[in-house]
Chain A
Amino acid sequence: MADKRFLDAIHDGLYEEMARDASIVLLGEDVGKKGGVFGVSEGLYEAFGEARVIDTPLAESCIVGVAIGMSVNGLRPVAEIQFADFIHPAFDQILSEAARLRFRSRNDFGCPIVIRTPYGGGVHGALYHSQSIEAFYAHIPGLKVVVPYTPADAKGLLVAAIRDPDPVLFLEHKKMYRSIRGEVPESEFTVPIGPAVVRRPGRDLSIFAYGLMTHEALGAAGQLQQEGIEVEIVDVRTLRPLDTKTILESVARTNRALIVHEDNRFAGFGAEIAATIAEEGFRYLDAPPTRLCGPDVPAVPFSQPFEDWFMISAEKIVHAARAVVAY
């Protein structure tokens, strides 16, 4: 085990997979010579050359489109969208082509691409560098959506995504790149796409979170424990396919559910979890499944007080959890 930053775990996953399999290529804006704006792909251009680490024009639709073309011709592309805020020009490629290819070709073609992209606020990134986009993409059948929290998961899920025969959207919260550290096994390993994980067991309330929100929820759990409220934290980590079994088992234990995400609330991903619990776990419930989400404003604001107001902190989770437990 080695203690690594979130960012290094992703870098190492990319490096080791590229060293293992020559069909893996990287493409995206500034991923090559610059090593990525966050430095995730640092050194890969030098290690694997310009044919495998490709700087693209500033054209997201092109990046994903080219990746799809590569994938049906035998390569395993890992495309990087520099900020999730800018992924939407590629929406049509992802929705209409990548996610449908297997269905459309009656299983003759898969589309083994990974689209990595940093998302999320709390870094003073303002309107074009702070947004969460998972709800749009988790809605698409045929696309897998993964949001790791621990460095070990980031690496293990990335390796699993690269080896997956179908397209995977891999979301990395940019605030975690340098602030989250953790033990990462030295040997080759994968974390399967799909299963959620209970990060902390508890009896009074299940909190469902992913990415940075898992971190905040764990912080809240510590505070709540001081008050005698034992919270179970479920790190959802794969949004699609969703591990409803683990979610329902947790609610069966605690009888209460709080779903936390940074993305705004209306028709957000939390609604899917809440609906699943309401439909399939109704008889377990001692309180309404409740969501704590970013406010419904058009974007994460720039001004510091407004950004703080937008972001979900451990403090806000403590507050919401108390209300659900008191119901």
Chain B
Amino acid sequence: MPTEIKMPQLGESVHEGTIGKWLKRPGDAVAKYEPLVEVITDKVNVEMPSPFAGVLRQILVEEGATVVVGTAIAVIEEQGGGAARAAAPGIAQPSSPAAPPATGDGGRPRAPVPPETRPPAPRLTPLVRRLVEEHRLSPDELASIPGSGEGGRITKDDVLRHIETQRASPRPSAAAAASPSATRAPSPGGDRQAPVQAAPAAGDELHRFSPVRRAIAERMAQSKREIPHAYGTIEVDLTVLARHREAYKATWQAREGVNVSLTAFLVRAAARALRAYPMVNATFTPEGILYKHAIHFGVGVAIPDGLIVPVIKHADQKGVVGLAAEIAQLAARARDGKLTLDDVSGGTFTLTNPGVFGSITSLPIINYPQAAILAADAIVRRPVVVGEGIAIRDVMHLGLAFDHRVFDGAVAMRFLNHIKQQLEGFAPAGESPEF
């Protein structure tokens, strides 16, 4: 009895997975719970165990391809007692464009192969059926449309995209490539190539999107497309703060059990500035500017495949030590791929830290749909004019990219100066990091 193995749901917020590596080949026997395949998602990588004992008959999704949860990825011939699990009438048998599994086993009885060899007519939703009628799509044409829905179902978007492509001149427009679902993994064979700008030359290599990369690509493009970005940068003299921190960080570490990072000071100061300038902690909507009451502070963290922004909830209600502990915890969870959906949701403002990698001036992209993003650049020892002399000071550039629909440059610079004054005016109370 051949049974389809489906892409499992690997967490609350995960709705698709990439096949990393098949651990069994067709024809291999698998024991119940024996690892069958490595599945990669934007949050976790797992080995998926076989749900029952049997023989792997067919691999339906190749390594590297991404499919939505619930898609059939393999067929396993179940061992013993399989007949009891007869397929319900009317349920399509595993569609197998490839030849039925070859059995090089001579005299042994062959597994029953479904008598139906003609590919079943695709099952269409009412809306898709209507679109097919309205646009007079032939069955062949319909069969050529790659389905992006669950189990490869053809959705409304698939049909509309197909019609759009047909209508367009032979050279496809770049706009079609920007459509979010245009980036689904193509079904094997026969479908149209996604529009590309230039033909690949010899040696060029197409790297398929990982879920994280795709999410970043879509969000960045959306932000730049919809939000008119404007920028401002100021210099902040961090000498006093940095010295104080150097002097006491070991003490703090011993007492609080956490490395009180400069980022924590920065978040503390920025959260206060957001209270003073609530229009920075806002979102543009067609009806007006939505001032967000809560200050949920996102901090960008680099992860192997890209970037993720865990969120410190109610950052304005937390002290430097509390912020440092939370940032450290979130960053560790981010790097281990253990962030929950809640950890990355609800942000109202974002800090990015390109300075860690040495950038001295940055023009970040706003974390859509927020109103602004703060960029902390590298702290550089610079000769600075102090009074009539020149001193060596620790200087950092602090940049703000902001949605010019929401507020103007004057507010942006006042907001930045509010942070600057707090950091430069840092007057430590004894050995405490709080200010």
Q: Does A315 contact B (CB under 8 A)?
A: yes
Give the Cβ gap from B349 to chain A, nearest Cβ, in Å.
15
Q: Does B173 contact A (CB under 8 A)?
A: no
Instruction: Kindly identify, within residues 239 to 260 of chain A, every residue whose CB is under 8 Å from any CB belonging to chain B.
Output: 255
Give the Cβ gap from A223 to chain B, nearest Cβ, in Å.
5
Q: A255 and B68: CB pair below 8 A? A: no
Q: A319 and B12: CB pair below 8 A? A: yes
A322 contacts which chain B residues (CB < 8 A)? 15
Q: A326 and B127: CB pair below 8 A? A: no
Q: A283 and B130: CB pair below 8 A? A: yes
Per-residue CB proximity of A252-294 to B under 8 Å, as 1/0? 0001000000000000000000000000001111110000000
Cα(A255)–Cα(B149), bound, Å: 14
Interface residue count on the B side (C-beta < 8 Å): 25
Q: A315 and B12: CB pair below 8 A? A: yes
Q: B153 and A327: CB pair below 8 A? A: yes
Q: Does B156 contact A (CB under 8 A)?
A: yes
Q: A326 and B126: CB pair below 8 A? A: no
A255 contacts which chain B residues (CB < 8 A)? 127, 156
Cα(A323)–Cα(B12), bound, Å: 11
Q: B125 and A228: CB pair below 8 A? A: no
Q: A284 and B126: CB pair below 8 A? A: yes
Query: Which B residue's beta carbon lies closest to that of A200?
Result: B285
Complex partner residue of B125 from A223, A285, A318, A319, CB under 8 angstroms:
A285
Per-residue CB proximity of B200-241 to A under 8 Å, as 1/0? 000000000000000100110010000000000000000000
Q: Does B341 contact A (CB under 8 A)?
A: yes
Q: Does A39 contact B (CB under 8 A)?
A: no
B13 contacts which chain A residues (CB < 8 A)? 227, 318
Instruction: Kindly identify, within residues 46 to 73 of chain A, every residue whose CB is under 8 Å from any CB belonging to chain B.
Output: none
How many residue pairs link A and B with beta carbons under 8 A? The number is 49
B195 contacts which chain A residues (CB < 8 A)? none
Q: Does A222 contact B (CB under 8 A)?
A: yes
Q: A327 and B149: CB pair below 8 A? A: yes
Given A223-B341, A228-B180, A327-B153: A282 in contact with B15 (beta carbons within 8 A): no
Q: B180 and A226: CB pair below 8 A? A: no
Given A228-B180, A326-B69, A326-B149: A315 in contact with B126 (beta carbons within 8 A): no
A285 contacts which chain B residues (CB < 8 A)? 125-127
A286 contacts which chain B residues (CB < 8 A)? 125-128, 155-156
Q: Does A303 contact B (CB under 8 A)?
A: no
Instruction: Kindly identify, within residues 160 to 215 of chain A, every residue whose CB is under 8 Å from any CB belonging to chain B.
Output: none
Cα(A260)–Cα(B127), bound, Å: 23
Q: A228 and B130: CB pair below 8 A? A: no
Q: B128 and A326: CB pair below 8 A? A: no
B69 contacts which chain A residues (CB < 8 A)? 326
Per-residue CB proximity of B305-327 to A under 8 Å, as 1/0? 00000000000000000000000
Complex partner residue of B15 from A226, A283, A315, A326, CB under 8 angstroms:
A326
Chain A CB within 10 Å, residue with most, of B13, B68, B70: B13
B329 contacts which chain A residues (CB < 8 A)? none
B15 contacts which chain A residues (CB < 8 A)? 322-323, 326
Given A222-B346, A225-B369, A319-B12: A282 in contact with B150 (beta carbons within 8 A): no
B126 contacts which chain A residues (CB < 8 A)? 282-286
Q: B345 and A226: CB pair below 8 A? A: yes
Cα(A326)–Cα(B17), bound, Å: 13
Cα(A225)–Cα(B180), bound, Å: 13
Give the Cβ gap from B372 to chain A, nearest Cβ, in Å.
17
Q: A327 and B150: CB pair below 8 A? A: yes
Give the Cβ gap from B124 to chain A, nearest Cβ, in Å.
10
Per-residue CB proximity of B76-107 to A under 8 Å, as 1/0? 00000000000000000000000000000000
Cα(A315)–Cα(B341), bound, Å: 9
Cα(A322)–Cα(B69), bound, Å: 11
Cα(A283)–Cα(B346), bound, Å: 36
Query: Which A residue's beta carbon lies closest to that of B129?
Result: A283
Cα(A227)–Cα(B14), bound, Å: 11
A326 contacts which chain B residues (CB < 8 A)? 15, 68-70, 149-150
Complex partner residue of A284 from B127, B150, B155, B219, CB under 8 angstroms:
B127
Give the Cβ gap from A153 to chain B, nearest Cβ, in Å.
18
Q: A283 and B127: CB pair below 8 A? A: yes
Cα(A323)–Cα(B130), bound, Å: 23
Query: Which A residue's beta carbon lies closest to that of B127?
Result: A286
Cα(A315)–Cα(B222), bound, Å: 24
Give the Cβ gap from A206 to chain B, nearest Cβ, in Å.
13
Query: Which A residue's beta carbon lies closest to that of B285?
Result: A200
Cα(A226)–Cα(B69), bound, Å: 19
Per-residue CB proximity of A300-327 to B under 8 Å, as 1/0? 0000000000000001001100110011
A287 contacts which chain B residues (CB < 8 A)? 125
Query: Which B residue's beta carbon lies closest to that of A288?
Result: B125
Q: B149 and A223: CB pair below 8 A? A: no
A222 contacts which chain B residues (CB < 8 A)? 345-346
B149 contacts which chain A residues (CB < 8 A)? 326-327
B346 contacts which chain A residues (CB < 8 A)? 222-223
Cα(A228)–Cα(B179), bound, Å: 11
B345 contacts which chain A residues (CB < 8 A)? 222-223, 226
Cα(A323)–Cα(B68), bound, Å: 10
Per-residue CB proximity of B129-171 to A under 8 Å, as 1/0? 0100000000000000000011001011000000000000000
B341 contacts which chain A residues (CB < 8 A)? 223, 315, 318
Per-residue CB proximity of A26-40 to B under 8 Å, as 1/0? 000000000000000
B68 contacts which chain A residues (CB < 8 A)? 326
Per-residue CB proximity of B325-362 to A under 8 Å, as 1/0? 00000000000000001000110000000000000000
Give the Cβ gap from B155 to chain A, nearest Cβ, in Å.
6
Cα(A285)–Cα(B369), bound, Å: 29
Query: Which B residue's beta carbon lies closest to that of A314?
Result: B345
A225 contacts which chain B residues (CB < 8 A)? 369
B70 contacts which chain A residues (CB < 8 A)? 326
Give the Cβ gap from B40 to chain A, nearest Cβ, in Å.
18
Chain B CB within 10 Å, residue with most, of A223, A225, A285, A326: A326
Query: Which B residue's beta carbon lies closest to that of A226?
Result: B345
Query: Which B residue's beta carbon lies closest to that of A319?
Result: B12
Cα(A188)–Cα(B219), bound, Å: 45
Which chain A residues have a beta carbon within 8 Å of chain B's beta carbons?
A: 222-223, 225-228, 255, 282-287, 315, 318-319, 322-323, 326-327
User: Told that A222-B346, A286-B126 touch, could you supply 16 new A-B pairs with CB distance under 8 A?
Assistant: A222-B345, A223-B345, A227-B13, A227-B215, A255-B156, A282-B126, A283-B126, A283-B127, A285-B125, A286-B127, A318-B13, A326-B68, A326-B69, A326-B70, A326-B149, A327-B155
A-B contact pairs, 11 of them (CB 8 A): A222-B346, A223-B345, A226-B345, A228-B218, A255-B127, A286-B125, A286-B126, A286-B127, A286-B156, A319-B12, A326-B150
Closest 6 CB pairs of A and B: A286-B127, A286-B156, A286-B125, A285-B126, A282-B126, A283-B130
